[in-house]
Amino acid sequence: MRSADIAGFAGAAVIVLATFVTPSMASAPAVVAQAEEITQALSGKVCVTRAGATFMFSSDGRYEYEGLWKNGGQYEIGNGIVTVMFDSGLGRSFTISRHDKVFYMEETVLYCRQPEPPRSLSGAEGAMW
């Protein structure tokens, strides 16, 4: 009788564990992002991370980073990578992947948007002082 209780408990534990594991296994795996989709996602955009770092990918190929330090350079997009040639002369390639509709730079989620247009300080839009 004691064995039946233990077997019943073990069976219930397996079902509960399977319930938690199955959804994560069912989601689509990360895939290497193609150059065209990376261009659509990043070019001309400002991207931020949860930690607050900012990456700017200008439409003209200029790259700016502001986070733990500031850095700039020129970037090129390829299949699965963004390669940056920094102003210092050093270069680095970053792996870009996509998990569903979310883009990752290495292991970091990127939240990208169009940059805000510069504000004019002349005319009716100027400061009120």
Lowest mean per-residue pLDDT among 1-15, 43-57, 97-111: 1-15
Question: Would you state the torsion angle of the CA atoms of residues 15, 21, 22, 23, taken in this order, to the nearest 10 degrees?
Answer: 130
Residue 77 has pLDDT above 80, yes or no: yes
DSSP letter at 123 equals G
Does 96 have pLDDT greater than 80? Answer: yes
For residue 105, give Cα distances in angstroms to 37, 42, 108, 110.
13, 11, 5, 7
Asked if 54 and 112 touch (Cβ cutoff 8 Å), the reply is no
pLDDT band at 18 (very low <50, low <70, confident <90, very high): very low
Q: What is the pLDDT of residue 115?
A: 86
What share of the chain in percent tops pLDDT 90? 64
Which domains, ranges and CATH numbers included, belong to the chain?
31-113 (2.40.128.290)
